[in-house]
Chains A and B, each alone.
Chain A
Amino acid sequence: MSEKNTGVTAKTVEKIARLSRLHVEPDRLAYLADEMNGLLAWIEQLGEVDVKGVEPMTSAVEMPAPLRKDEITDGGVRDKVLANAPKTESGYFVVPRSVE
């Protein structure tokens, strides 16, 4: 599968996994690099397209953003906000300690 792009290395996968916050076992890195290179080799063909002067399409609707009035129409629903939380206390979400 991976004949063209061999740009992705195990080290790249490690970095991408960290950015994605996905745990990857070290012995899987090389395999995943291979897999990504395979997909990239296929995707690479996009480079053939001449896009000089072409604007990127960021949305399928051609209109400006609708704007809403500055009014309080929401909030005050703490029970709903916390209803599915794995852990809460005194109205707070409780999460693993984020500082040392």
Chain B
Amino acid sequence: MFTAKRVADKKDWLSGRDHDWEIIIGLEVHAQVASKSKLFSGAATEYGAEPNTQVSLVDAAMPGMLPVVNEFCIEQAVRTGLGLNAQINLYSRFDRKNYFYPDLPQGYQISQFEFPIVGEGEIEIEPEGGEAVIVGIERLHLEQDAGKSIHDLSPDDTFVDLNRSGVCLMEIVSKPDMRSPEEASAYVEKVRGIVRALGTCDGDMEKGNLRADVNVSVRKPGGDLGTRCEIKNVNSMRFIRQAINYEARRQIDILEAGGEIDQETRLFDNAKGETRTMRSKEDAHDYRYFPDPDLLPINITQEFVDGIKANLPELPDARKARFVVDYGIPEYDARILTADKAKGDFYERLAKGRDAKIAANWMMGDLFGALNKASINLDDSPVNSDALGELLDLIGDKTISGKIAKDVFEKMFAGEGGANEIVEREGLKQVTDTGAIEKMVQDVIDANADQAAKVADNPRLVGFFVGQVMKASGGKANPQAVNEILRKKLGL
């Protein structure tokens, strides 16, 4: 079923003692369906509630409680499957996965094992600094989340909050088609972009609404597959890359020392940047999957699927292509701006009726830079698309220069007001009055008479004069006007 024919780019090989190594990565992304209520109960799913307040008697697995399927979750799985270019299965079924854990009240997780709702598909990813790669999707199935165990409220006990218990997850399983940490994070980025564009999951990794189990193994480039380890619940792109790097190196060290890799489940320690074993081997796991007798099969019709297909929103790949054509921006820019629905929407609002290239540059440069530095999400940006648009309009109509605009942007980002307001308040308007500029130019020429004399022989000195005039104007003089007047006066 799993093929791993592709050999990694040489640049992604890890060097070893006797030979190089290649990393084989497969991912299981758990994406929380953006439903109001749980997969099998009417309790709310909203994040951050007081412990055990969003728990129905079904979620707490009281005796005799029974599950009833949420139709919205079925629909979102189909939408997501279509977004992943995957096979939609008209027949699917829920099975029980049996194991004991205090945050798993039923003693089993209701999941889809033998008959998932979505089958094989594929998506294209474009890793940073690499070629585009096709990653196969093995399946997407629905399952319920477990509750939360909290270990730091008491030294002797574990506290259990079941608010998440029963929340609907889509588990999206990739084929082991990734070969570098960058490819892995680009894949998660892409999946996240797709579910956000579809609105089937909010993709919020900080809240754990999208998280990844990372399967890592190493092999001699192009050789036989090695034993894999699964790293559970990694919840940021950076941690995904770190975990893979650490885990691959760990496995290589073991293999080079003549050891064997134990197939096991591992945890990623965010603080230490290490993976460590999660379950001891002694704790045999045999999940004893069988069809959940409390639930009946899910039968959907082709018409239902076609109806959803006809109403799918624009997905990142299509949007990217459109941005290149409609806005005339480079593919690279288009990809970054469409990686995420929020970015694309922001850009389209900003670029509308403005210079699309300048809009792209401002978003990707100043805005993303500032957001990154402050660790703020685009959704929470202190400068929204209207505000940034106001600034771009001031550049466009030459009210301020691009250089001044950068200072204005910083002030806007710091919450000091809107673009017009700041420009007005701080008197940053560009001087376009030729009389005033002529006077400044004359003053500078008079003050630097010896340099002025040399200009004829060395035209590059004009730059010096421009600089001086701009300095004298406090940056407000229109650079184009300064240039023209200077050249005239210097007789060039």
Binding site for B on A (CB under 8 A): 15, 18-19, 21, 58-59, 61, 63-78, 80-82, 87, 89-99
27 contacts between A and B (CB under 8 A): A19-B286, A19-B288, A59-B291, A59-B293, A65-B298, A67-B68, A67-B70, A68-B69, A68-B71, A69-B70, A70-B73, A72-B42, A74-B37, A74-B56, A75-B53, A77-B56, A78-B51, A78-B52, A78-B53, A87-B157, A89-B154, A90-B153, A91-B50, A93-B52, A93-B161, A95-B160, A97-B157
Interface of B is mostly: loop
A61 CB, nearest partner CB in chain B, Å: 7
> A92–B150 contact, CB under 8 A?
yes
For the complex, is B102 an interface residue (Cβ under 8 Å from A)?
yes
How near does chain B come to A1, taking the closest CB pair, in angstroms? Answer: 26
Q: How far is the CA of A66 from the CA of B299 in the complex (A)?
A: 10
Distance from B28 Cβ to chain A, minimum over Cβ atoms (Å): 22
- Chain A residues with Cβ below 8 Å from B35 are 70
B156 touches A97 (CB 8 A): yes
How far is the CB of A94 from the nearest CB of chain B, in Å?
5
**Does B44 reach chain A (CB closer than 8 Å)?**
yes
Having A58-B297, A99-B151, one finds 20 other A-B pairs with CB under 8 Å, namely A18-B284, A58-B93, A64-B296, A65-B296, A67-B69, A69-B70, A70-B70, A75-B42, A75-B54, A77-B57, A78-B52, A78-B55, A89-B159, A90-B51, A92-B51, A92-B160, A92-B161, A93-B162, A95-B157, A99-B149
Q: Give complex CA distance A69, B72 in Å.
A: 7
Distance from A46 Cβ to chain B, minimum over Cβ atoms (Å): 16
**Residue B356 at the chain A interface, CB threshold 8 Å:** no
* B441: Cβ under 8 A from any A Cβ: no
Identify which of A19, A72, A96, A98 contacts B36 (C-beta below 8 A): A72
A residues within 8 A CB of B156? Answer: 97
The distance in angstroms between the C-alpha atoms of A64 and B71, with both chains bound, is 12
Alpha-carbon gap, A97 to B71, bound state (A): 37
Check B57 against A93 for contact (C-beta < 8 Å). no
Closest 6 CB pairs of A and B: A75-B43, A73-B42, A70-B72, A67-B71, A74-B42, A74-B56
CB < 8 Å neighbour of B158 from A69, A71, A74, A96? A96
Is the pair B158, A72 in contact by a Cβ cutoff of 8 Å?
no
Residues on A with C-beta less than 8 A from B159 are 89-90, 92-95
Give 1 or 0 for each of B130-163: 1 = CB within 8 Å of chain A CB: 0000000000000000000111011011111110
Cα–Cα, bound, A92→B60 (Å): 12
In the bound complex, do residue A66 and residue B44 qualify as a contact, i.e. CB atoms below 8 Å apart? no
When distances are taken between beta carbons in the complex, the residues of chain A under 8 Å from B77 are none
- Is B101 on the interface with A (CB-CB < 8 A)? yes
Give bound CA distance, A61 to B293, whole Å: 10
Distance in angstroms from B271 CB to nearest chain A CB is 15
Q: Would you give the 0/1 interface string for B23-53, flagging 1 where the beta carbon is closer than 8 Å to chain A?
A: 0000000000001110001111000001111
A68 touches B68 (CB 8 A): yes
| In the bound complex, CA of A62 to CA of B150 (Å) | 43
- A70 in contact with B37 (CB, 8 Å): yes
Q: Flag if A81 contacts B288 (CB, 8 Å).
A: no
CA distance A100 to B166 in the complex (A): 26
Per-position binary interface string of chain B over residues 269-310, scored 1 when its CB falls under 8 Å from any chain A CB and 0 otherwise: 000000000000000101010010101111100000000000
Q: Are B158 and A70 in contact (CB under 8 A)?
A: no
Whether the Cβ atoms of A98 and B55 lie closer than 8 Å is: no
Contact between chains at B158 and A95 (CB < 8 Å): yes
Residue of A61, A63, A64, A68 touching B70 (CB-CB under 8 A): A68
- Minimum C-beta distance from A14 to chain B (A): 10
- Cβ of A75 to closest chain B Cβ, rounded Å: 3
Contacts of B100 in A (CB 8 A): 21
Rounded to whole Å, the gap between the CB of B236 and the closest CB of chain A is 22
Q: Shortest beta-carbon distance, B192 to chain A, in Å?
A: 22
A58 to B449, CA, bound (A): 98
**Is B37's CB under 8 angstroms from A72's CB?**
yes
A74 touching B295, Cβ below 8 Å: no
Bound Cα distance from A68 to B50, whole angstroms: 26
Of the candidates B37, B74, B284, the one whose C-beta lies within 8 Å of that of A71 is B37
- Shortest beta-carbon distance from B24 to chain A in Å: 30
- Please determine whether B69 and A65 come into contact, CB atoms closer than 8 angstroms: yes
Interface pair B60/A81, CB less than 8 Å apart: yes
B214 contacts the other chain (Cβ, under 8 Å)? no
Bound Cα distance from A90 to B151, whole angstroms:
14
User: Given A64, A90, A92, which contacts B298 in the complex, CB threshold below 8 Å?
Assistant: A64
Contacting residues, chain A, for B350 (C-beta < 8 A)? none
Q: Restricting to B62-114, which residues have a CB under 8 Å from any CB of A?
A: 68-74, 93, 100-102
CA distance A19 to B283 in the complex (A): 9
